[in-house]
Protein backbone atom coordinates (compact mmCIF):
# COMPACT_ATOMS: atom_id res chain seq x y z
CA UNK A 1 0.00 0.00 0.00
CA UNK A 2 1.15 3.51 -0.74
CA UNK A 3 -0.54 4.93 2.39
CA UNK A 4 0.02 3.09 5.69
CA UNK A 5 -2.90 1.23 7.26
CA UNK A 6 -4.91 3.34 9.73
CA UNK A 7 -6.78 1.60 12.57
CA UNK A 8 -8.89 3.61 15.00
CA UNK A 9 -10.99 2.65 18.00
CA UNK A 10 -13.92 4.74 19.26
CA UNK A 11 -15.67 4.14 22.60
CA UNK A 12 -13.81 0.85 22.92
CA UNK A 13 -10.39 -0.02 24.33
CA UNK A 14 -7.78 -0.66 21.63
CA UNK A 15 -6.96 -4.35 21.35
CA UNK A 16 -3.71 -5.82 20.03
CA UNK A 17 -5.66 -8.89 18.95
CA UNK A 18 -8.13 -6.86 16.88
CA UNK A 19 -5.27 -4.83 15.38
CA UNK A 20 -3.53 -8.06 14.35
CA UNK A 21 -6.78 -9.42 12.88
CA UNK A 22 -7.26 -6.21 10.85
CA UNK A 23 -3.67 -6.41 9.56
CA UNK A 24 -4.25 -10.02 8.52
CA UNK A 25 -7.45 -9.15 6.64
CA UNK A 26 -5.78 -6.20 4.90
CA UNK A 27 -2.84 -8.42 3.88
CA UNK A 28 -5.32 -10.81 2.24
CA UNK A 29 -6.97 -7.90 0.41
CA UNK A 30 -3.56 -6.77 -0.84
CA UNK A 31 -2.97 -10.25 -2.30
CA UNK A 32 -6.43 -10.16 -3.85
CA UNK A 33 -5.99 -6.73 -5.47
CA UNK A 34 -2.53 -5.72 -6.66
CA UNK A 35 -2.90 -1.95 -6.22
CA UNK A 36 -4.54 -1.11 -2.94
CA UNK A 37 -3.47 2.48 -2.27
CA UNK A 38 -4.61 2.71 1.34
CA UNK A 39 -7.00 1.39 3.96
CA UNK A 40 -8.64 2.94 7.00
CA UNK A 41 -10.50 0.77 9.54
CA UNK A 42 -12.63 2.15 12.35
CA UNK A 43 -13.91 -0.05 15.17
CA UNK A 44 -16.58 1.70 17.19
CA UNK A 45 -18.89 0.83 20.03
CA UNK A 46 -22.04 2.91 19.35
CA UNK A 47 -22.59 3.79 23.03
CA UNK A 48 -20.46 2.99 26.04
CA UNK A 49 -23.56 1.77 27.89
CA UNK A 50 -24.09 -0.93 25.25
CA UNK A 51 -20.66 -2.36 26.02
CA UNK A 52 -22.04 -4.12 29.10
CA UNK A 53 -24.89 -5.66 27.09
CA UNK A 54 -22.39 -7.43 24.83
CA UNK A 55 -23.32 -5.81 21.54
CA UNK A 56 -20.63 -6.13 18.88
CA UNK A 57 -18.86 -3.04 17.58
CA UNK A 58 -19.62 -1.28 14.30
CA UNK A 59 -16.89 -1.66 11.69
CA UNK A 60 -16.15 0.86 8.96
CA UNK A 61 -13.62 0.08 6.25
CA UNK A 62 -12.47 2.60 3.64
CA UNK A 63 -10.35 1.18 0.81
CA UNK A 64 -8.51 3.55 -1.50
CA UNK A 65 -7.97 2.14 -4.99
CA UNK A 66 -7.10 3.99 -8.22
CA UNK A 67 -9.86 6.52 -9.02
CA UNK A 68 -12.24 5.20 -6.35
CA UNK A 69 -12.92 4.89 -2.65
CA UNK A 70 -14.74 1.73 -1.52
CA UNK A 71 -16.59 2.10 1.78
CA UNK A 72 -17.96 -0.74 3.88
CA UNK A 73 -19.97 0.22 6.93
CA UNK A 74 -20.92 -2.85 8.93
CA UNK A 75 -23.42 -1.73 11.55
CA UNK A 76 -25.10 -4.83 12.90
CA UNK A 77 -27.51 -2.98 15.15
CA UNK A 78 -29.30 -1.73 12.03
CA UNK A 79 -29.09 -4.90 9.91
CA UNK A 80 -31.98 -6.73 11.55
CA UNK A 81 -30.42 -10.11 10.85
CA UNK A 82 -31.47 -12.85 13.26
CA UNK A 83 -28.14 -14.68 12.97
CA UNK A 84 -25.87 -11.63 13.13
CA UNK A 85 -22.37 -12.13 14.47
CA UNK A 86 -21.99 -11.31 18.15
CA UNK A 87 -18.20 -11.52 18.46
CA UNK A 88 -15.98 -8.58 17.43
CA UNK A 89 -13.73 -10.89 15.40
CA UNK A 90 -16.73 -12.39 13.58
CA UNK A 91 -18.05 -8.90 12.81
CA UNK A 92 -14.61 -7.96 11.48
CA UNK A 93 -14.57 -11.11 9.32
CA UNK A 94 -18.01 -10.28 7.91
CA UNK A 95 -17.04 -6.69 7.14
CA UNK A 96 -13.85 -7.71 5.34
CA UNK A 97 -15.77 -10.34 3.37
CA UNK A 98 -18.06 -7.57 2.10
CA UNK A 99 -14.99 -5.42 1.35
CA UNK A 100 -13.45 -8.24 -0.69
CA UNK A 101 -16.69 -8.70 -2.66
CA UNK A 102 -16.82 -4.97 -3.42
CA UNK A 103 -13.16 -4.98 -4.41
CA UNK A 104 -13.85 -7.94 -6.70
CA UNK A 105 -16.73 -6.05 -8.34
CA UNK A 106 -14.53 -2.97 -8.73
CA UNK A 107 -11.86 -5.09 -10.42
CA UNK A 108 -14.41 -6.66 -12.78
CA UNK A 109 -15.69 -3.22 -13.81
CA UNK A 110 -12.16 -1.85 -14.30
CA UNK A 111 -11.25 -4.79 -16.53
CA UNK A 112 -14.46 -4.48 -18.55
CA UNK A 113 -15.82 -7.87 -17.49
CA UNK A 114 -19.24 -6.49 -16.52
CA UNK A 115 -21.98 -6.46 -19.14
CA UNK A 116 -25.02 -4.29 -18.75
CA UNK A 117 -28.61 -4.90 -19.89
CA UNK A 118 -28.01 -3.11 -23.18
CA UNK A 119 -25.43 -5.79 -23.97
CA UNK A 120 -22.60 -3.31 -24.25
CA UNK A 121 -19.65 -4.03 -21.97
CA UNK A 122 -18.38 -0.99 -20.10
CA UNK A 123 -15.01 -0.76 -18.48
CA UNK A 124 -11.91 1.28 -18.15
CA UNK A 125 -11.47 1.38 -21.95
CA UNK A 126 -15.03 2.52 -22.58
CA UNK A 127 -15.21 0.75 -25.96
CA UNK A 128 -17.95 -1.76 -26.56
CA UNK A 129 -16.37 -3.57 -29.49
CA UNK A 130 -19.64 -3.26 -31.45
CA UNK A 131 -19.41 -1.45 -34.79
The alpha carbon dihedral of 113, 118, 124, 129 has a sign of positive
Q: Among candidates 67, 62, 73, 74, which has minimal Cα distance to 107?
A: 67
**Band of pLDDT at residue 108, cut at 50, 70 and 90:** confident
Domains and CATH numbers, the chain: 6-110 (3.30.160.100)
Cα 123 to Cα 127: distance, rounded to the nearest angstrom: 8
**What pLDDT, on a 0 to 100 scale, did the predictor assign at position 97?**
94
Provide the β-strand partners of residue 70.
63
**What pLDDT, on a 0 to 100 scale, did the predictor assign at position 92?**
93
Residues 112-127 have pLDDT tens digits of 766 656 655 555 444 4
Residues 42-96 have pLDDT tens digits of 999 876 554 455 678 899 999 999 889 999 997 654 445 444 556 889 999 999 9
Residues 6+ apart with CB under 8 A from 105: 114
Residues 2-41 have pLDDT tens digits of 899 999 999 888 989 999 999 999 999 998 887 889 999 9
Tell me if residue 42 falls in helix, strand or coil: strand
18-to-14, 21, 72, 93 alpha-carbon distances in Å: 8, 5, 17, 11
**Band of pLDDT at residue 110, cut at 50, 70 and 90:** confident
Amino acid sequence: MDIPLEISFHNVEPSDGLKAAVRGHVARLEKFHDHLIGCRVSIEMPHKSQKAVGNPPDIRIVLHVPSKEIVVSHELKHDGHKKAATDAYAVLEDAFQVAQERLKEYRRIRHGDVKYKSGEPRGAGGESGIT
